[in-house]
Amino acid sequence: MHDLSPSGLSLPSPSRRTLLRGVGGAAVLGAGIPLLSACGGSGTASDPKTVTLGSKASDPVPKKAFADIYAAYKKKSGITVDVNTKDSNTFQEQINSYLQGTPDDVYTWFAGYRMQFFAAKGLATPIDDVWKTIGGNFPEAMHKLSKGEDGKYYFVPLYTYPWALFYRKSVFQEKGYEVPTTWDDFVALCKQMKKDGLVPIAFGDKDAWPALGTFDQINFRQNGYDFHVELMAGKASWTDAKVRKVFDLWTEILPYHQEGATGRTWQDAAQTLASKKAGMYLLGTFVAQQFTDKAALEDLDFFAFPEIDPAYGQDTVEAPTDGFMMSKSPKNKTEAVKLLQYLGTSDAEDIYLKSDPSVVHASTKADTSSYTALQKKAYDMIVGAKSLTQFMDRDSRPDFTSTVMQPALQKFVRDPKGVDSVLSSIERQKKTIFASS
């Protein structure tokens, strides 16, 4: 019996372990292959009646809203939209490899620098032919948002939503507060609220992006839209006196922000507004998602961030816009173009908004009769804007905003006295990041 053991027939544990490792490795590889191919969408796109579409809309509400659009399109044109939905964060994290592999014909994405970046890298197809038919549906600001740096169109907007200061109508009524339109009124209101035992401005920056929104608002009110663009593009300096002024203004209102912001999520901060413990909250309209009580939701209202420099007034609105792009070499280009032409109509937007009422149409030709009061106000605000910004992490390089700006602003929020060293550190890091490509 013992002679047999060296021959491998009854080899003890070590070989079993190697075998298991081999099997495990094979299983990992095996599991990896379908994952990789899932990134590449379905391979059967040569079918002339099918357009493939990569989607980041993984939350139930938007997912259904998008599905409704594609169903309506199929009814109208007979073309099947083969949707490949991935978790929203994963989609964004893998976008590089996704677009370089064999992406779907059309994919969901954001307007602004984040779109222009991939357009400049040749990972998107220009769609000027699409805009020939849909151009009339959109206001000038949306045209601007949909163009790459080369002046060609790359993006079809679907919906948008503004950032603003949210408040409870009943609280303002009860305490006799007025909506502030200038900086001085705003600061005075904050003081009054503090005296009245409210947290003047709810704030949660645990996820590190909400502070970017506060900076944006103060910056384009104080320095205007053009400076915002220059700063985001890495051209203007962060040690410029203009930027310093923004932080001075911010320091002025920071004591009126909710304490302990860097440990609080935006959802928790929204709850303080919902429970009437806070007076105001600067966020996008998606804050309404946290108002599950219907009466409270109806009590919710907002106003534009107050004017700081009269030269710029309130002419800029931060309105992140989501929509679609076409990948670099779509398998079914003719149908992809037609699909995008449909997605650029107010019909498609109507269908989307029916399921997701927290956003508004990107098109000016839309039917706004079914809007809630909040939506109507948001829509008017966007239509009336002279310039639209997208939000710092969409208007600038994502590597710059996520690895430099987010931690820097968290640091500032916690310790506003250290602003000078924060700013010079931002500027130093910005130079290397923007020089690298």
Partner 1 sequence: MTTNTTKEIPEAATVPPPGAAPANKVPHGHSRLLTRRDRITLGLMAGLPTVLHIALVWVTALASIALAFTTWDGIGFDSIKWVGLENFKELFTNNPQFWPAVEHNVIWFVVLIVIPTPLGLFLAVQLDKKIRFSRVYQTAFFLPVVLSMAVIGFVWQLIYNPDTGLINSIIGANEPGKYIDWIGDPDLNLWAILIAASWRHTGYMMILYLAGLKGVDPSLREASALDGAGEWQTFKNVIFPTLRPTNTVVLVVTIIEALRAFDLVFVFNKGAEGTELLSILVTNNIIGESSRIGYGSAIAVVLLLISLIVIIPYLVATFRKERRA
Taking the complex as a whole, the smallest distance from the CB of residue 432 to partner 1 amounts, in Å, to 5
Can you tell me which of 50, 116, 219, 272 binds partner 1, judged by CB under 8 A? 272
* 33-72 binders of partner 1 (CB under 8 A): none
* DSSP string for residues in 230-270: HHHTT-S-TTSHHHHHHHHHHHHHGGGBPSSGGG--HHHHH
Please tell me whether residue 384 binds partner 1 under the rule CB under 8 A. no
Which stretch, 156-164, 232-240, 310-318, 395-403, contacts partner 1 (CB under 8 A)? 395-403
* 101-140 binders of partner 1 (CB under 8 A): 114, 117, 121, 123
Identity of the residue, 18 or 370, whose beta carbon is nearer to partner 1 in the bound complex: 18
Identity of the residue, 80 or 425, whose beta carbon is nearer to partner 1 in the bound complex: 425
Contact 111, 83 (CB under 8 A): no
Identity of the residue, 18 or 251, whose beta carbon is nearer to partner 1 in the bound complex: 18
Residues 235 and 225: their CA atoms lie apart, in Å, by: 14
Token code pair at residue 189: 């209101």
CA end-to-end distance (rounded Å), the chain? 68
Token code pair at residue 366: 């839309």
Contact 310, 193 (CB under 8 A): no
Can you tell me which of 42, 237, 402, 434 binds partner 1, judged by CB under 8 A? 402
* 317-376 binders of partner 1 (CB under 8 A): none
Can you tell me which of 10, 22, 71, 128 binds partner 1, judged by CB under 8 A? 22
Residues 74 and 44: their CA atoms lie apart, in Å, by: 18
Strands 360-361 and 321-326: unpaired
Residue 145: CA count within 13 A, CB half-sphere: 33
Written as one letter, the residue type at 409 is: L
Segment holding 287, helix H or strand E: none
Please tell me whether residue 418 binds partner 1 under the rule CB under 8 A. no
Helix (H, G, I), strand (E, B) or coil at 193: helix
Contact 155, 145 (CB under 8 A): yes
Residue 326: CA count within 13 A, CB half-sphere: 26
Residues 176 and 178: their CA atoms lie apart, in Å, by: 7
Can you tell me which of 244, 414, 416, 434 binds partner 1, judged by CB under 8 A? 414
Identity of the residue, 63 or 114, whose beta carbon is nearer to partner 1 in the bound complex: 114
Taking the complex as a whole, the smallest distance from the CB of residue 348 to partner 1 amounts, in Å, to 26
* 200-259 binders of partner 1 (CB under 8 A): 205-208, 258-259
Can you tell me which of 69, 79, 95, 359 binds partner 1, judged by CB under 8 A? 95
Contact 205, 413 (CB under 8 A): yes
Taking the complex as a whole, the smallest distance from the CB of residue 149 to partner 1 amounts, in Å, to 14
Which stretch, 23-31, 282-290, 351-359, 373-381, contacts partner 1 (CB under 8 A)? 23-31
Can you tell me which of 167, 397, 405, 419 binds partner 1, judged by CB under 8 A? 397
Strand order in the sheet with 106-110: 80-85, 50-55, 106-110, 321-326, 155-160, 360-361
Written as one letter, the residue type at 340 is: L
Can you tell me which of 10, 18, 173, 289 binds partner 1, judged by CB under 8 A? 18
Give the contacts of 402 (CB within 8 A, at least 6 positions apart): 393
Please tell me whether residue 432 binds partner 1 under the rule CB under 8 A. yes
Contact 63, 105 (CB under 8 A): no
Buried b / exposed e along 367-378 (16+ C-beta atoms within 10 A): eeeebeebbebb
Please tell me whether residue 199 binds partner 1 under the rule CB under 8 A. yes
Can you tell me which of 10, 21, 128, 191 binds partner 1, judged by CB under 8 A? 21
Identity of the residue, 99 or 130, whose beta carbon is nearer to partner 1 in the bound complex: 99
Residue pointed to by tokens 């994502």: 398
Can you tell me which of 19, 35, 38, 373 binds partner 1, judged by CB under 8 A? 19
Please tell me whether residue 25 binds partner 1 under the rule CB under 8 A. yes
Taking the complex as a whole, the smallest distance from the CB of residue 412 to partner 1 amounts, in Å, to 10
Identity of the residue, 54 or 224, whose beta carbon is nearer to partner 1 in the bound complex: 54
Taking the complex as a whole, the smallest distance from the CB of residue 23 to partner 1 amounts, in Å, to 9
Residue pointed to by tokens 């239509």: 383
Footprint of partner 1 on this chain (CB under 8 A)? 2-3, 6-8, 15, 18-19, 21-22, 25-26, 29, 92-93, 95-97, 100, 114, 117, 121, 123, 199, 205-208, 258-264, 268, 271-272, 397-399, 402-403, 407-408, 410-411, 414, 425, 428-429, 432-433, 436-437
